[in-house]
């Protein structure tokens, strides 16, 4: 058994940090992967449209549309048109006889569901928004997601700037510095539907404050509940049972299990814990394992009131000692330093690795794939074990929940702020009908109706009705946890009337089949995936939410766009750390080399970066 150094039990307090106006650089990201999502828990209200605005929307029929008679349009109209008196006027059309025009750009990923020749520029989104909101998109360009940042920067240099801006953190700060963004506050206060205000209130307006400078709301942030970044542990319960191991109560018992997994004469290919050549990565490497020792590589945490780099704290050395112990005792593959992320995942799913840290969605990918190799695989999840028996490790969560910002360029036409809010409202009520009171909730279908719904969705998808193909988009930040709580309650009570729509029913059906039939159902892997990641009391979404709510987290603090030193030196500093970490685990360097590593890290640019972080922190706290 590996024994940690004797020391006082440390109390890690989750800091409640006043939101900074300057935050860490993140790339634009897509928050969700489908429209099967959840509702906010905050109580919502309905605003009844005025007679004129209501008639403009609700009295229109499929026959009024230029697409009348086209199956895909008729499906959209019949499935989504709100009955009279329920459509919030703020989602209605822009005033005026002519469409209000907005210059837009967009990034997108290819989707096999879409007909050939359909892109965001000619997708159904353009038609429905023009038809329902009297807003017309003028496309400057559209580009694959991986090329977006480069193309966007070129547009800024050439002055070919759209009216509506989707910005990552760095880009947002650039526009702030050049005073190039409109104030969205009046439009947000007047036109954002109550569901937006309720959602933001659940997080104490953190992201709205983050987007506000000198009292001006310079963008609408799109963000995700930070419970999604909590780490949890997964292990092969079938292996553990065969070897007589119970669920590990602390990290020492976990390490004993890992060593046992890696020392089976009948299964010489097996190893215990997943690792790859970037040892400090948090998912599918040692990064989360180190957190049991209070070590947070690649994170900035607060000590004595100031941010500090986790990579050079003393706790990091203790975590590395434990990782070396695993390596020396065959609990880690001897060739881990040659593995990329994909090779490590391959070993996890082909039954040669039995322990991994991951996020709540790990059953979706990659664990479900392991059933293709071994149908008898049984993955158990649990909180990350800590040093003391029965104590969970403290996981990091992301203080900055924002994925990207949507703003209005200073030279956009008058009224663009209102137009953008109307599209955001429309997008929210259409994509998340169970999340609001202003759109009809789709009734719980029988199986035939559900199958018809699936067929209709496929027809719409073929015309580009893909969630992230709209150039102005949003999502409900708490959708996963909201739906998880609801379907969990239905499983416990059997009250099917609580299910709000086909998406709720899909989660419920999968989970119920897993509980009733287990592996006897032909879709057992999908049923297990849904239950273990989304519906179960003690796993997935509900487990990570509980761990955060009970204080088993510490914030990875963000401090603004990338600092000058970070932009120049962060990759070299990461390479230096990865090299030292790997060599330490493999026994090629020793504890005597730790001070030299710390000194080199600081001298290579780490100290300058750290000073910039602290300065930025003090400016906003």
Q: What is the DSSP string of 448-484?
A: HHHHHHHHHHHHHHHTT--TT-SSS----TTHHHHHH
Smallest CA-to-CA distance from 292 within 545, 12, 580 is with: 12
The phi, psi pair for 229, rounded to 5°, reads -95, 5
Provide mean pLDDT across the span 398-402: 88
3-state secondary structure 232-251: EEEEEHHHHHHCCCCCCCCH
The phi, psi pair for 142, rounded to 5°, reads -140, 145
Position 341 scores a pLDDT of 85
Q: Is the pLDDT higher at 618 or at 494?
A: 494
* Whether residue 442 has pLDDT greater than 70: no
| Chain centroid to CA 600 | 34
Percent share of the chain, pLDDT over 70 = 86
Which residues, including other chains, have CB under 8 Å from residue 545's CB and lie 6 or more apart?
Answer: 225, 227, 481, 484
* Whether residue 444 has pLDDT greater than 80: no
Q: Which of 51-65, 520-534, 577-591 has the highest mean pLDDT?
A: 577-591
Position 432 scores a pLDDT of 78
Q: Is the pLDDT higher at 79 or at 557?
A: 557
Provide mean pLDDT across the span 516-532: 93
DSSP 532: I
Range of lowest pLDDT (84-93, 319-328, 388-397, 467-476):
84-93
The DSSP H or E segment spanning 531 is: none
- How are beta strands 353-358 and 553-556 bridged, if at all? unpaired
Cβ atoms within 10 Å of 460's Cβ, excluding its own: 21
Position 419 scores a pLDDT of 98
Cβ atoms within 10 Å of 583's Cβ, excluding its own: 16
Position 9 scores a pLDDT of 32
Provide mean pLDDT across the span 372-377: 88
Q: Is the pLDDT higher at 616 or at 582?
A: 582
* Whether residue 307 has pLDDT greater than 90: yes
Position 81 scores a pLDDT of 65
* Whether residue 62 has pLDDT greater than 60: no
59: pLDDT confidence band, cut at 50, 70 and 90?
very low
The packing angle between helices 607-619 and 564-585, to 10°, is 130
Per the prediction, the chain carries an average pLDDT of 86
Provide mean pLDDT across the span 257-273: 94
Which residues, including other chains, have CB under 8 Å from residue 599's CB and lie 6 or more apart?
Answer: none
Position 394 scores a pLDDT of 97
Position 143 scores a pLDDT of 94
559: pLDDT confidence band, cut at 50, 70 and 90?
low
84: pLDDT confidence band, cut at 50, 70 and 90?
low
Is 464:482 a contact under the CB 8 Å cutoff? no
Range of lowest pLDDT (39-43, 420-424, 592-596, 607-611):
39-43
Position 79 scores a pLDDT of 66
* Whether residue 140 has pLDDT greater than 90: yes
488: pLDDT confidence band, cut at 50, 70 and 90?
very high
CA atoms of 52 and 92, how far apart (whole Å)? 10
Residues in the chain, how many? 621
Q: Where are the alpha helices (DSSP H) in 501-559?
A: 502-517, 524-530, 540-549
* Whether residue 585 has pLDDT greater than 90: yes
Position 315 scores a pLDDT of 97
Range of lowest pLDDT (244-258, 439-453, 524-538):
439-453
Which residues, including other chains, have CB under 8 Å from residue 270's CB and lie 6 or more apart?
Answer: 239, 261, 262, 264, 351, 352, 353, 354
* Whether residue 43 has pLDDT greater than 60: no
Residue with tokens 């059309």: 93
Q: Is the pLDDT higher at 62 or at 217?
A: 217
Smallest CA-to-CA distance from 547 within 387, 400, 390, 384 is with: 384
Position 71 scores a pLDDT of 86
Provide mean pLDDT across the span 498-510: 86
The DSSP H or E segment spanning 103 is: strand 100-108
Range of lowest pLDDT (7-21, 189-203, 523-537, 553-567):
7-21
Handedness of CA 74, 79, 80, 82 (dihedral sign): positive
Q: Is the pLDDT higher at 100 or at 84?
A: 100
Q: Is the pLDDT higher at 358 or at 45?
A: 358
* Whether residue 355 has pLDDT greater than 70: yes
23: pLDDT confidence band, cut at 50, 70 and 90?
very low
DSSP 396: E
601: pLDDT confidence band, cut at 50, 70 and 90?
very high
Percent share of the chain, pLDDT over 90 = 64
Provide mean pLDDT across the span 547-554: 94
Position 575 scores a pLDDT of 96
441: pLDDT confidence band, cut at 50, 70 and 90?
low
Residue with tokens 């209005």: 408
27: pLDDT confidence band, cut at 50, 70 and 90?
very low
Provide mean pLDDT across the span 101-124: 94
The phi, psi pair for 233, rounded to 5°, reads -105, 140
Provide mean pLDDT across the span 530-537: 95
Read off the pLDDT of residues 201-243 as tens digits, 9 standing for 90 and up.
Answer: 988 898 999 899 999 999 999 998 989 899 999 999 999 999 9
Pick left, alpha or beta for residue 415 (phi over 0 → left; psi -120 to 50 → alpha; otherwise beta).
left
Residue with tokens 């404050």: 209
Provide mean pLDDT across the span 430-441: 72
Which residues, including other chains, have CB under 8 Å from residue 536's CB and lie 6 or more apart?
Answer: 488, 511, 542, 543
């Amino acid at each position: 058994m590996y024994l940690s150094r004797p020391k006082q039990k440390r109390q890690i307090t989750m800091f409640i940090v006043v939101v900074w106006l300057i935050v860490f650089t993140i790339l634009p990201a897509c928050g969700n992967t489908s429209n099967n999502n959840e509702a906010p828990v905050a109580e919502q209200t309905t605003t009844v449209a005025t007679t004129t605005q209501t008639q403009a929307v609700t009295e229109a029929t499929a026959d009024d549309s230029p697409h009348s008679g086209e199956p895909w349009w008729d499906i959209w109209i019949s499935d989504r048109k709100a009955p009279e008196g329920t459509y919030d006027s703020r989602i209605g059309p822009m005033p005026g006889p002519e469409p209000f025009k907005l210059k837009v750009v967009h990034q997108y990923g290819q989707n096999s569901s879409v007909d050939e020749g359909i892109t965001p520029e000619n997708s159904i989104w353009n038609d429905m928004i023009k038809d329902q909101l009297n807003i017309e998109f003028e496309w400057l360009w559209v580009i694959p997601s991986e090329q977006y940042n480069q193309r966007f920067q070129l547009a800024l240099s050439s002055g070919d700037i759209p009216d509506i801006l989707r910005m990552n953190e760095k880009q947002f700060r650039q526009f702030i510095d050049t005073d190039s963004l409109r104030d969205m506050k009046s439009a947000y206060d007047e036109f954002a539907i109550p569901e937006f205000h309720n959602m933001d209130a659940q997080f104490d307006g953190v992201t709205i404050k983050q987007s506000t400078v000198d009292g001006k709301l310079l963008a609408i942030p799109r963000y995700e509940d930070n419970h999604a970044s909590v780490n949890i542990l997964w292990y092969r319960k079938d292996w553990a049972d065969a070897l007589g191991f119970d669920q590990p109560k602390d990290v020492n018992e976990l390490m004993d299990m890992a060593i046992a997994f890696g020392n089976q004469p009948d299964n010489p290919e097996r190893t215990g814990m997943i690792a790859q050549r970037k040892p400090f990565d948090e998912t599918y490497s040692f990064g989360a394992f180190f957190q049991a020792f209070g070590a947070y590589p690649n994170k900035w945490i607060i000590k004595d009131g100031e941010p500090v780099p986790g990579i050079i704290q003393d706790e990091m050395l203790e975590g590395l000692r434990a990782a070396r112990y695993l390596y020396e005792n065959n609990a880690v593959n001897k060739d881990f330093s040659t593995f990329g992320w994909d090779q490590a995942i391959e070993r996890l799913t082909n039954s040669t690795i039995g322990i991994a840290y991951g996020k709540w969605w790990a059953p979706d990918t990659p664990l479900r794939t392991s059933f293709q190799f071994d149908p008898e695989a049984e993955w158990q999840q649990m909180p990350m074990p800590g040093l003391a028996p029965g104590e969970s490790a403290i996981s990091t969560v992301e203080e900055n929940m924002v994925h990207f910002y949507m703003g209005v360029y200073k030279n956009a036409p008058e009224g663009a702020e209102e137009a953008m809010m109307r599209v955001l409202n429309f997008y929210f009520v259409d994509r998340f009908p169970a999340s609001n009171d202003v759109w009809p909730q789709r009734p719980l279908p029988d199986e035939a109706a559900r199958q018809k719904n699936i067929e209709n969705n496929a027809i719409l998808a073929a015309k580009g009705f893909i969630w992230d193909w709209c150039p102005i988009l949003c999502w409900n930040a708490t959708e996963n946890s909201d739906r998880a709580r609801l379907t969990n309650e239905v499983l416990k009570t059997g009250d099917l009337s609580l299910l709000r729509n086909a998406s709720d029913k899909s989660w419920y059906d999968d989970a119920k089949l897993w509980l009733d039939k287990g592996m006897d159902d032909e879709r057992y892997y999908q049923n297990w995936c849904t239950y273990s990641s989304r519906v179960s009391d003690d796993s997935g979404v509900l487990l990570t939410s509980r761990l955060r709510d009970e204080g088993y987290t510490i914030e990875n603090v963000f401090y603004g766009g990338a600092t000058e030193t970070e932009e120049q030196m962060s990759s070299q500093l990461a390479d230096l750390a990865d090299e030292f970490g790997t060599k330490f685990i493999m026994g090629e360097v020793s504890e005597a080399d730790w001070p030299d590593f710390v000194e080199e890290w600081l001298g290579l640019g780490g100290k300058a970066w750290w000073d910039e972080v602290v300065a930025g922190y003090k400016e906003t706290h």
